[in-house]
Amino acid sequence: KIDDWGIDDFASAMSGAGALGGFKDDEDDLCQRCREAAKGTSSQWVSFCNTLPKTTSDERSVRGSCQSINLKTSQERDNWCFAKFCD
């Protein structure tokens, strides 16, 4: 029965089904990492931006946007993080 399965069994990455909102933990981590980088130096910010994926056009756009605010204040970078990665 499906009731005997947990969400991890039924909708894990291995099952191929995928749970709705399955990236929540990754998003939370990305939010936290971004906001930590925002508090740091411009070189720490660039290092964070360079960890962002760049496979798709949308990903390259986010990465470019991240890099473009390198010299902004930590508050402006934090606001950017919140808008992009935090709920």
Is the overall model pTM greater than 0.75, yes or no? no
Burial class (CB in 10 A: 0-12, 13-18, 19+), 80: buried
List pLDDT tens digits, range 27-84: 789 999 999 999 999 999 999 999 999 999 999 999 999 999 999 999 999 999 999 9
- Write the single-letter amino acid at 23: F
CA 51, 55, 59, 60 dihedral sign is positive
Residue 54 has phi, psi (to 5 degrees) of -140, 30
Q: How far apart are CA 52 and CA 59, in angstroms?
A: 8
